[in-house]
Amino acid sequence: MKPIKVGLLGIGTVGSGTFNVLKRNQLEITRRAGRSIEIAMVADLNVERARELTNGECEVVNDANLVVSNPDIDIVIELIGGYGIAKDLVMKAIANGKHVVTANKALLATHGNEIFKAAEEKGVMVAFEAAVAGGIPIIKALREGLTANRIQWIAGIINGTTNFILSEMRDKGLDFAAVLKQAQELGYAEADPTFDIEGVDAAHKATIMASIAYGIPMQFDKAHVEGITKLQASDIRYAEELGYRIKLLGISKRTEDGIELRVHPTLIPEKRLIANVEGAMNAVLVHGDAVGATLYYGKGAGSEPTASAVIADLVDITRLATADPEHRVPYLAFQSNSLSDLPVLPMAEIVTSYYLRMHVADKPGVLADVTRILADLTISIDAMLQKEPAEGETQTDIIILTHQTKEKNIVAAIEKIEKLDSVFGAVTKLRLEELS
Ligand code: HSE
Q: Judge if 325 and 383 occupy the same domain.
A: no
User: Shortest CA distance to 101 belongs to which of 79, 117, 83?
Assistant: 79
pLDDT in tens, 208-223: 999 999 999 999 999 9
Whether ligand 1 lies within 6 angstroms of the CB of 109 is answered as no
Residues comprising the chain, all counted: 436
Ligand 1: distance of its center to the CA of 398 in Å? 35
End-to-end CA separation in angstroms for the chain: 50
Q: Judge if 157 and 124 occupy the same domain.
A: no
Q: Which atom of ligand 1 is nearest to the CA of 205?
A: 8
Ligand 1: distance of its center to the CA of 77 in Å? 19
Whether ligand 1 lies within 6 angstroms of the CB of 104 is answered as no
β-pairing, 259-269 with 423-432? parallel
CATH label of the domain that carries residue 367: 3.30.70.260
Q: Judge if 148 and 132 occupy the same domain.
A: no
Q: Judge if 165 and 276 occupy the same domain.
A: yes
- Cα 75 to Cα 53: distance, rounded to the nearest angstrom: 20
Q: Judge if 116 and 161 occupy the same domain.
A: no
pLDDT of residue 184: 84
pLDDT band, very low/low/confident/very high, at 16 (cuts 50, 70, 90): very high
Whether ligand 1 lies within 6 angstroms of the CB of 159 is answered as yes
pLDDT of residue 94: 98
Cα 322 to Cα 101, 158, 279, 312, 337: the distances in Å are: 17, 34, 42, 17, 23
* Pocket perturbation via mutation, ligand 1, pick of 108, 159, 209 by most ligand atoms within 8 A of CB: 159
Q: Judge if 356 and 395 occupy the same domain.
A: yes
Whether ligand 1 lies within 6 angstroms of the CB of 196 is answered as yes
Its domain, for residue 332, covers 4-136+303-338
Task: Give the closest residue (by CA) to ligand 1 atom 4.
Answer: 301
Longest dimension (CA), the chain: 83
pLDDT in tens, 283-316: 999 999 999 999 999 999 999 999 999 999 999 9
Q: Judge if 12 and 93 occupy the same domain.
A: yes
Q: Judge if 234 and 382 occupy the same domain.
A: no
pLDDT in tens, 69-119: 999 999 999 999 999 999 999 999 999 999 999 999 999 999 999 999 999
Ligand 1: distance of its center to the CA of 197 in Å? 10
Residue 187 has pLDDT above 80, yes or no: no
- What is the arithmetic mean of pLDDT over 369-390? 95
With a pLDDT cut of 70, the percent of the chain lying above it is 100
Whether ligand 1 lies within 6 angstroms of the CB of 405 is answered as no
Residues serving a catalytic function are 205
Q: Judge if 331 and 386 occupy the same domain.
A: no
- Cα 235 to Cα 252: distance, rounded to the nearest angstrom: 24
Task: Give the closest residue (by CA) to ligand 1 atom 2.
Answer: 159
Query: How many distinct structural domains can be found in the chain?
Result: 3
Whether the CB-CB separation of 218 and 208 falls below 8 Å is answered with yes
Q: Judge if 325 and 396 occupy the same domain.
A: no
Q: How deeply is 25 buried, as exposed, middle or buried, from its count of CB atoms within 10 A (0-12, 13-18, 19+)?
A: middle
Q: Judge if 45 and 144 occupy the same domain.
A: no
Q: Which atom of ligand 1 is nearest to the CA of 159?
A: 6
